[in-house]
Amino acid sequence: MAMQTDCDALIVGAGLAGLVAACELADAGKTVWLIEQEGANSVGGQAHWSLGGLFMIDTPEQRRWRIKDSPALALNDWLGSAAFDRPEDAWPKAVAEAFVDFASGPMRAWLHAMGMRWFPVVGWAERGGGHAGGHGNSVPRFHLTWGTGPGVVAPFAARLAEHEAHGRVAFCFRHQVDTLITADGAVVGVAGSRLATDDVARGARSSREVVGDFAYRAGCVIVAAGGIGGDHDKVRAHWPVERLGAPPAHMLSGVPHHVDGRMIDITARDGHAAIINADRMWHYTEGIANWDPIWPAHGIRIIPGPSSLWLDADGARFEAPCLPGFDTLATLKAIRARGHEYSWFVLDQTIIEKEFALSGSEQNPDMTAASWRAVLANRLSKGGPPPVEAFKQHGADFIVADTVDELAAGMNRVSGEGRIEAAALKRTLADRDGQIDNGYGKDAQMAAINNARGYAGDRLFRVAKPHRMLDPAKGPLIAVRLHILTRKTLGGLHADLDGRALDATGQPVPGLYAVGEAAGFGGGGYHGYNALEGTFLGGCLFTGRRAGQHAATVC
C-alpha cells in the first residue's frame, strides 16, 4: 500500500537553493511545500543580503572589456584554488567540474531569460596567491547582478508566487524542523515545532517560543537550510587549527544568528547522511562592526581595491599574497600566526573614494534599487559612496586624521592596546611612497596595483591612481580596524552531482537531497579549501537546479 503524502516534495529552507529547487519541481508539475523557521520576510535567505556577484566564464560582459577567459583557464584556477586532496573529494571535484561547464555554458542564458542583468564592469575578486597554478582568479569573473542579492532572488520568488496561486507551492513559515521522518531506510518527511509569530525585521533574532507541532510526509525531502556561520561555538569547534592556527576568541558575524548548522546535524542524525570537510570554511579578514546592527555581532565586509596598506595589530606590514583582495585564507592564517584577532587598513581619502565598497545589498542601495542615476551620483561624485562615508563618520573601527601622529594615536585609542608607534608607521608610509615615482619597483603591492590598472575596468572604476599617501592633498589619512568575520561553510552534507545525500558508504539515502551551503555548495564542498567568489550564489543556483530536476523524476 502506497504511503499517504501531503505533497510531492518538502524543501527545508527558503533560501536561494531551496527556491531554485522548488521552481524546478513546480515547473515539472509537482506539489512543493517549503518549510522555513523564520518569517515570510526571510524568503531568499542569505542571498538577499549578498552583493549578488556571480562567477561566470567567457561572457559578453567580459568580452566587452577584452578579457580573454575560457573554461580551461577557469577550471585550472578552480582546481589550483581547491587543492582537492581527500578520497571523499571525488564528488565535490565532479560537481566543481560540472559547475565550470555550467558557468561557461547555459548559466548566463538561463538567468538572462528570467530577466537578470549585470553591471557592465566585471569585478576581479580574490586575485590569488602569486603563481599561475595556485589559488585565485587569473582574470575578472565577478558579475555583479543589477539589483544585487534581491535581484538574484526575485525571478525565482516571482515564479513561485505564480505556482502558489495555482496551488502547486505552499510556504510553511515559522516551522522549525526537529526530526526527519524515515521508513524502511528512506526519508519520507519532516516533523518539528511551530513557532510563535514574530514580526521582527528580516535578519533580526526571532522568538523560539513553541506554540504547536507538525509532521508532513512527501516523496522526497530536500535540505536547503544553510551553514554554520551564525554559531561561533560551532565555527570554533570545526576550526582547522593545523592550517589556520587557533580560532579567535572574538569574531563578528556576517550572517544572522539562525544560520547555525542545526539542520545539517539533524540530517546526519536522522537521515544517516555523511558530513564531510567540516574543517573547511571561508571567513573574511576585512570585517567592520556594523554601526547600525540587525543581528548579534553584526559585521560588514569591506571589499577593498588593492591600494590600502594592510598592517597587523602591531603596525607591521603583511607580505604578499596578503594584499587587499588577493588571498583571503592566507591573510587569515597570517593574522592568527601572529597571535592577533584584528588587523588594520591604512589609506587616504583618495583611495577610500575609489576603492572601498561594502558587501551586502543593504550597503549598496543604489545598486539594489537598480538605479543608474543613483549609481552615477554616488560613485562619481566627490566623497566615497554614502554607506562608506556613513561608516567613516559613525563606525567604531574608523579613524580619520590629518597627520600620522594623530592617526597612530587614534589607532591606539580604538584598540585600547597602544601597539602602534607613530615613528614606525610614518616610516612604513614613507617606504611605500618611495616606490611611486616609477611605474615599476621592488614593492609587491605596488606591482599588483600597476597590474590591476592594466585592466581598464579597474583603472576606470576600482583602482586609484598610485600616489603618495603622505601628500596632504590626497588626505586625510584613514585607518580601519579589521575583525575576522564569519561567513561560509565550505564543507557539509555529502552529495552526488544530482544533490542526492550520501551515507557513510557513499550510497544515496533514498528520498533525501542536500543543496546549497548545507552541502558545501555542492557535493559536500565543491570549493575545496578556497573560494573564487561569485561561486556561493552560483553553487546555490546550480545545486538547487540539479536536485530539483532530478527529484522531479522520482517523487
pLDDT tens for 246-295 read 999 999 999 999 999 999 999 999 999 999 999 999 999 999 999 999 99
- Rounded-to-integer distance, Cα 167 and Cα 327, Å: 47
C-alpha cell at 79: 582546481
- Strand residues in 374-522 grouped as ranges (E): 398-401, 477-489, 492-493, 500-502, 508-514
- Rounded-to-integer distance, Cα 482 and Cα 284, Å: 10
- Rounded-to-integer distance, Cα 115 and Cα 363, Å: 23
Q: Is the pLDDT of residue 550 over 50?
A: yes
Domains and CATH numbers, the chain: 7-226+490-552 (3.50.50.60), 288-485 (3.90.700.10)
- Phi and psi torsions of 406, nearest 5°: -65, -40
In percent, how much of the chain has pLDDT > 90?
A: 94
Nearest to 117 by CA among 66, 160, 154: 154
- Rounded-to-integer distance, Cα 60 and Cα 492, Å: 34
With cut-offs at 50, 70 and 90, classify the pLDDT of residue 474: very high
C-alpha cell at 401: 586624521
- Rounded-to-integer distance, Cα 88 and Cα 442, Å: 42
Pair 421, 415: CB distance under 8 Å = no
Pair 10, 18: CB distance under 8 Å = no
Q: What is the rounded average pLDDT of the residues 386-410?
A: 96
Q: Is the pLDDT of residue 1 over 50?
A: no
Lowest pLDDT segment from 242-246, 371-375, 389-393, 427-431 = 371-375
pLDDT (tens digit per residue) in 418-445: 999 999 999 999 999 999 988 889 999 9
Q: What is the rounded average pLDDT of the residues 75-89?
A: 98
Q: Is the dihedral of CA 44, 367, 329, 87 positive or negative?
A: positive
Pairing of strands 32-36, 169-173: parallel
Q: What is the rounded average pLDDT of the residues 379-403?
A: 90
C-alpha cell at 164: 502558489
Pair 429, 440: CB distance under 8 Å = no
pLDDT reported for residue 253:
98
pLDDT reported for residue 188:
98
pLDDT reported for residue 2:
56
First and final CA of the chain: distance in angstroms? 16
Burial class (CB in 10 A: 0-12, 13-18, 19+), 165: exposed
Nearest to 324 by CA among 466, 459, 469, 482: 482
Nearest to 285 by CA among 148, 492, 480: 480
Question: Does the global pTM surpass 0.85?
Answer: yes
Task: Give yes or no for a cis peptide into 92 (omega within 30° of 0).
Answer: no
C-alpha cell at 260: 547555525
Pair 301, 482: CB distance under 8 Å = no
Q: Is the pLDDT of residue 156 over 50?
A: yes
Mean pLDDT of the chain: 96
Pairing of strands 186-195, 175-183: antiparallel
Q: What is the rounded average pLDDT of the residues 51-74?
A: 98
With cut-offs at 50, 70 and 90, classify the pLDDT of residue 324: very high
Q: What angle do the packed helices 90-104 and 71-82 form, to 10 degrees?
A: 150
Burial class (CB in 10 A: 0-12, 13-18, 19+), 187: buried
With cut-offs at 50, 70 and 90, classify the pLDDT of residue 379: low
pLDDT reported for residue 88:
98
- Phi and psi torsions of 47, nearest 5°: -60, -35
- Strand residues in 359-416 grouped as ranges (E): 398-401
Helices (H) and strands (E) in the chain, counts: 20, 20
